[in-house]
Structure 1
Amino acid sequence: MRLKSAIFVSALIRRAQVEGAYAVMVRRGAEDAGAIFVKVSRLDGTAALYGPAPQSAFDEASPSDRKFSELVAPGRPETDADARLVREMKFDPDLYVVEIEDRQGRHFLDIAAP
């Protein structure tokens, strides 16, 4: 059984804060199953963006895990991540957006293999 999106987001924010990063929910989505997007700002004008991994990234051993894929590569201008988020919000208005500010660029997510 998969965790509700609201619980996952709360846990992600807490984990980032425990590790010394600043994290905040910028947009609240559907509590049960809203898609989650995570923007990681390095505080130097660059950012990365992570979103739900495609269904093909899941295997039978862990079908309910949340995995993410890189949508905007680390080191890109922050405006690239913001523009991608605007496009995603037009497509799905029930999504969550979490922003993490961390000079090291840590995302605290499980990234699916490409």
Structure 2
Amino acid sequence: MEDSLKTEIIIKSVTKIAQQDGIPVFVVKKGDPDSGIILIKIDLLNGKGQLIRRNYSYSLKKNKSIIEYIKLHKEIELEYPKLQKLIEKEIKIDTDAWVVEIEDKQGRNFFEKI
């Protein structure tokens, strides 16, 4: 999918892809429908999870914009309370951010599929 797609459309597409695999996806917080950043909370269904931010950056090597997925913590996974504090911190920085939760024991980031 193209970089220029609206955030809301990207999230709807990912939701459909994940649900086809039987994986629930929830929009926890709606952000700017056109260009809000996406915070992806991956719930591992064991009391722990990961927080990933979908970033755009410019690659000089490729001479174009690229999409990167950046884990926002050093640990492999965080316990829910720490994860929630991190989400709250990120939302304070960017109030237009979306928070999308994927419940998947395997920890898959379905945004990488588009």
TM-score, normalized by length of structure 1? 0.82
State the secondary structure of the residue aligned to 1:66: strand
Map residues 26-105 of structure 1 onto 2, 5 A cutoff.
Answer: 26-53=28-55, 55=57, 60=62, 62-63=64-65, 65-72=66-73, 73-105=75-107
Q: Structure 1: where are the runs of 5+ without partners?
A: none
- Find the aligned partners of 2:76 and 2:59 in 1 and give their Cα distance: 21
Contact 1:74 1:105 in 2 (8 A): no
Q: Is the 8 A contact 1:46 1:74 kept in 2?
A: no
Query: Could you list the runs of 4 or more consecutive aligned residues of structure 1 that deviate by over 4 angstroms after TM superposition?
Result: 56-59
Structure-2 change in CA distance of 1:61 and 1:14 (3 Å): farther
Please state if 1:22 is matched with 2:24: yes
TM-score between both structures, scaled by the size of structure 2:
0.82
Distance in 2 of aligned mates of 1:57 and 1:78: 34
Aligned length: 109
Q: Distance in 2 between matches of 1:28 and 1:76?
A: 23
Q: Distance in 1 between matches of 2:77 and 2:61?
A: 30
SS in 2 for 1:99: strand
Task: Judge conservation of contact 1:67–1:109 (CA < 8 Å) in 2.
Answer: no
**Structure 1: distance between partners of 2:81 and 2:59:** 27
CA deviation vs aligned residue, 1:67-103 (integer Å, no higher than 9, x gap): 2111134432122221111011111111100001111
C-alpha distance in 2, partners of 1:95/1:25?
A: 11
Q: Which runs of 5+ in 2 are unaligned?
A: none
Query: Could you tell me how far 1:16 is from its partner in structure 2?
Result: 1.3
